[in-house]
Each structure stands twice: as C-alpha cells, then as structure tokens.
Structure 1
C-alpha cells in the first residue's frame, strides 16, 4: 500500500510529465508550422527567420524529450490534431491572400504570443525540479526574444 508521501510524489511526477508532454506536442506543432511557412515565404530575410525558428523548435523538442527520458517516460512523437487543422486553415487562408509574407508574419506573431502564454501556464501549474524549471524558463525566454525579432521583419514584408 502506498503512503501519502509516495502518492504525492507519483502525482507530482505525473503532473510534470503531462506538462512536458503538452509542451512537446505544441513544440512539434510550431516546428511543422514554421517549416510549412518556409515553403510559402518569398522574402529572403523571412525565409531565414523561419528556418532559424524551425531549428530552434527542433532543439526545444530534443530538450523536452530528453527531460522526459530522464524521468523514465516515453516522449510523444508528433504534434496535435489541432495543429494539423490549424496548418490546413492557414494554407487555405494564404491561398486567397495577396501578401503571403505579411500573412505569415502575422501568424508567426500570433503563434509566438500563444507559445509564451502556454509556457507561462505551465510554469504557474506547480514548482518543478530545478532542471525542469530551467528548461521551461529558458525556452520561454527564447520565444519572447523570437517575438521581438519578428517585429524587425514586419518592415521588410
């Protein structure tokens, strides 16, 4: 029979794993979104930015997967159905948009703001082990920096 302490430890572990899996899934969605946008972008600076963001999100996915493995858990391997549906909607929207680069930038801004909110929500859920908190906090900071960098591209589109 498990003690209250063991139950609390297991619950904490389960909550940490759920939060990391959720971030990992959204990271896969973001990576796929950036790669899809990269195919459609026209401006060279925007293409470079999108390629860098996709690589950054790939790194995030590796960091989150590694953290899950260290917790003796199997990381998710793909993004969400919601992400797939969103990309389909963006493809339809862009097909009718005359300024694709501007639409891509707007979507990047929206996506980065949503990512920051997701990281904030995860960080508010509970205190995690320091190494987990460091990963989440560091990734959130990099997304915030990415959002700042998007604003410099708005003038180019």
Structure 2
C-alpha cells in the first residue's frame, strides 16, 4: 500500500515528466520552425540568427531529454502534430500569398510567446519537482532574449 508521501512523490514525478515532455515537444517544434525560417528567408541578416536559434532549441531539447531520462521516464521523440499541421498550413499559405521576412518574424514571435507562456506555466506548477527548475529558468531566459531580438529584427526588416 502506498503512503501519502509516496503518493505525493509519484504525483510530482508524473507531473514533472509530463511538463518536461511538453517543453521538449515545444523545443522540437521551435527547432523545426527556425530551420524552416532559415530556408524561407532571403535576408543575409536573418540567416545567422535563425541558425543560432535552431541550434539553441536543439540544445534545449537535449537538456530536457536528459532530464527526463534521469527521472527514469521516456522522452517524446518528435514535435507535436499540431505544429506539423500548422507548418503545412503555412506552406500552403506561402504558396498562395508568398512569404516575406516580416511574416516569418511574426511567426517566430508567435512561437516564442507561446514558449514563454508554457515555460512560465511549468515554473509555477506547485507539483513540479525542483531538480530541473534551474535549467528551465535558464532556457526561459534565453527564449525571452530571443523574443526581444526578434522584435528588434522586425524593426530592421519593416
């Protein structure tokens, strides 16, 4: 029979794994989104930025993957189906309307705002285990910096 303390630990463990997997999925999506932005942009100014962001999200994903493994759990292996559908819709929209750097940056902004919200939600979860919070805070900080940079880049391409 499970004690109250054991039950609470299991709930915290499961909540942590679920949260980390959601962030892992979000980073897979962001990495793919930045790679897509890299191939779509014609701006020599934006290409290095998109390359750097794709690499950063890949590093985030690797850190999250390891954290989940350290909890003896199974990490997700790919991004969300919702993001794949969204990318397909954007590809169709691009074929009809065309994609410019302003619209690419707008999508990057939207994605990073969503990521910031998800990271903050995880950090505010009272059932979340403390071991990974430092890593999560650092990743959130980097995404917030990215968001500020995107907003500055939008001013350049306008």
TM-score by length of 1: 0.94
Counterpart CA distance in 2 for 1:46 and 1:156 is: 10
Counterpart CA distance in 2 for 1:149 and 1:11 is: 38
Give the equivalent residue in structure 1 for 2:133: 133
The secondary structure found in structure 2 opposite 1:155 is helix
Cα RMSD after superposing both structures? 1.4
Counterpart CA distance in 2 for 1:103 and 1:94 is: 10
Counterpart CA distance in 1 for 2:98 and 2:75 is: 40
Counterpart CA distance in 1 for 2:3 and 2:63 is: 32
Structure 2 gap segments, 5+ residues each: none
TM-score by length of 2: 0.93
1:74-126 CA distance string (max 9 Å, x none): 21110110010111112122233455111101111111111111111111112
In the alignment, structure 1 residue 42 sits paired with structure 2 residue 47:
no
Give the equivalent residue in structure 1 for 2:155: 155
- Superposed displacement of residue 64, structure 1: 0.3
In the alignment, structure 1 residue 114 sits paired with structure 2 residue 107:
no
Structure 1 gap segments, 5+ residues each: none
Q: Within 5 A, what are the aligned runs for 1:1-157?
A: 1-98=1-98, 100-126=100-126, 128-157=128-157
In 2, are the aligned partners of 1:16 and 1:128 still within 8 Å (CA)? yes
- Superposed displacement of residue 4, structure 1: 1.3
Counterpart CA distance in 1 for 2:54 and 2:149 is: 14
Alignment size in residue pairs: 157
Counterpart CA distance in 1 for 2:68 and 2:98 is: 43
Counterpart CA distance in 1 for 2:15 and 2:132 is: 12
Counterpart CA distance in 2 for 1:126 and 1:133 is: 12
In 2, are the aligned partners of 1:24 and 1:65 still within 8 Å (CA)? yes
Counterpart CA distance in 1 for 2:28 and 2:100 is: 23
Q: Which has the higher contact order (CA 8 A, sep 6+)?
A: 2
Moved over 6 A (4+): none
